[in-house]
Amino acid sequence: MSTNEKKKALVAGGLGVIGRNLVEYLAQQPDWEVLGLSRRAAPDGTPGVHLQVDLLDPADARARLGGLEGVTHVFHAAYQEHDDPHALVDANLGMLRNLVEAVSPSPSLRRVVLYEGAKYYGAHLGAFATPAREDDPRHMPPNFYYDMQDWLLGTAAGRPWDAVVLRPDVVCGFAIGNPMNLAMVIAVYASISKALGLPLRFPGTATCYGKLAQVTDAAQLARGSVWAATEGRGGEAYNLTNGDVFRWYQAWHAIARWFDMEVGEPQTIPLAQFMADKAPLWQSLVQRHGLQPVPYDQIAAWGFGDFIFRCDWDVISSTTRIRQAGFHDVVDSTQMFLRLFDEFRTRKVIP
């Protein structure tokens, strides 16, 4: 397919931090038509066109997606959290299978792009070989990424469409009610700390504070997704992060300056526990500053912050493969955080 030919995309997980930003980006491209898919209805003001569908229900997926015409690309960013690893596999593989089986009979389909992450390399289990490369050995399963990738690549074999896997890590962008949006966790934590007259203390471990970390700008990922859909090699997996690494203490000082706060020494607290009672304080900030009335339990995923800020090991993915293949974008991660805070403030999400 020519890069100038009109393309039609379905973006599963269209309200998440990956999907929302991808829908917004594709909607601005003259050669793309895009439809975001999500189980919940899109709030007023959400960019792009969205369709409500339950991908966990194969009948609903077939009914709502099977009749769509002209779909050329599917981007699968849908995700459902489960504490039980086997339930995690069942739910996330199920959504992928139901989506692809509903759409793949279309003769226009050319490629499915699947998003994974550094958990593919065992980043959630402890120290792993870094920088992680796409062909590194897998860890002991279960790992829902393994099941999803194996099923997708196996299903694509011999079909007129193929698949590409992207592995971003800690995607940061504008999205509300998303379980994995670290930029929003930091912004809300800093805003509450400031309201309490506290310095900005890193809430994770002192070891993590000094380890190398990586993140992925959702805007960078949107550009890379278009590259993967049109120029990436079918059947291949590519790490896609900002292309830089940083230590949290370096970024933390810049973040504190943006919020006009002093930096305190790291103080390890479980955010999920210590932030649980801050809803009244947050509500007062919403009223005082005229912020969007987002429910407090949807504004930040404290458990995700606890996970990231307790990684006492380097988390680095090699981006050599994707650069050699032709995607060369690089983002300064610290500047990305500051830009996102500007956006959160402009959109009246933080004071």
Identify the sign of the CA torsion 148, 172, 232, 38. positive
Model pTM score = 0.96
Pair (226, 149) in one structural domain: yes
CATH of the domain at 308: 3.40.50.720
> What are the per-10-residue average pLDDT scores of the chain (351 residues)?
78 95 96 96 86 97 96 97 94 98 96 98 97 98 98 97 98 82 96 98 98 98 98 98 97 98 98 98 98 93 96 98 98 98 96 97
DSSP β-ladder status, 162-167 and 111-115: parallel
| Residue 252 domain-assigned (yes or no) | yes
Pair (52, 177) in one structural domain: no
Q: What pLDDT is recorded for position 89?
A: 97
Count other Cβ atoms within 10 Å, centred on residue 240: 26
- Boundaries of domain holding 280: 171-214+245-324+331-346
Pair (113, 188) in one structural domain: no
Pair (95, 134) in one structural domain: yes
Q: What pLDDT is recorded for position 217?
A: 98
Q: Return the H-helix or E-strand segment holding 283.
A: helix 279-289
CA distance 211 to 290: 37
**pLDDT tens-digit series, residues 161-210:** 999 999 999 999 988 777 679 999 999 999 999 999 999 999 999 999 99
Count structural domains, the chain.
2
| Residue 2 domain-assigned (yes or no) | no
Pair (276, 206) in one structural domain: yes
What are the φ and ψ backbone dihedral angles of 50, each rounded to 5 degrees? Answer: -130, 150
Pair (184, 279) in one structural domain: yes
